[in-house]
């Protein structure tokens, strides 16, 4: 084997070893599963969605009972102007439907738009 071929093989071996070490170094450690929360009993009085934090908090009898990360539209900030603008409506609404049957697309529907929403310029 020529000297150049041995040098090339050594470089390839060192590069592969460096990649393996880097992959192990940046690999996240497995997270312990979060314990399941007991089901909520009774009605939720208020749901507050903080769009900037992408956080939904549930209140029961004036006290916070749960908080969740939520997915919003691709551009949630600002007033909703038209269907498909990716914005999340702002205001006080009632939950009028929910999609609890899906394992991947859980969602809550609101009674939007209302008369005052349609009256906005």
According to the model, what pLDDT value does residue 121 have?
Answer: 56
Enter the pTM of the model: 0.59
DSSP summary character for residue 107: E
Mean pLDDT of successive 10-residue stretches along the chain, which has 121 residues: 77 75 70 83 87 89 91 82 82 82 79 76 56
In angstroms, the Cα distances linking 39 to 43, 62, 65, 66, 90 are: 12, 18, 11, 11, 28
Neighbours of 112 (CB within 10 A): 14
According to the model, what pLDDT value does residue 59 have?
Answer: 92
């Amino acid at each position: 084997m020529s000297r150049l071929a041995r040098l090339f093989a050594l470089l390839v071996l060192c590069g592969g070893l460096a990649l393996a070490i880097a992959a192990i170094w940046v690999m996240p450690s497995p997270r312990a599963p979060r314990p399941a929360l007991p089901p909520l009993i009774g009605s939720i009085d208020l749901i507050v969605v903080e769009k900037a934090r992408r956080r939904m908090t549930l209140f029961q009898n004036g006290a916070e009972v749960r908080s969740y990360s939520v997915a919003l539209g691709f551009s949630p900030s600002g007033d909703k102007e038209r269907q498909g603008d990716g914005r999340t409506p702002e205001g006080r609404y009632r939950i009028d439907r929910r999609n609890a049957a899906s394992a991947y697309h859980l969602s809550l529907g609101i009674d939007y738009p209302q008369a005052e929403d349609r009256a906005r310029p």
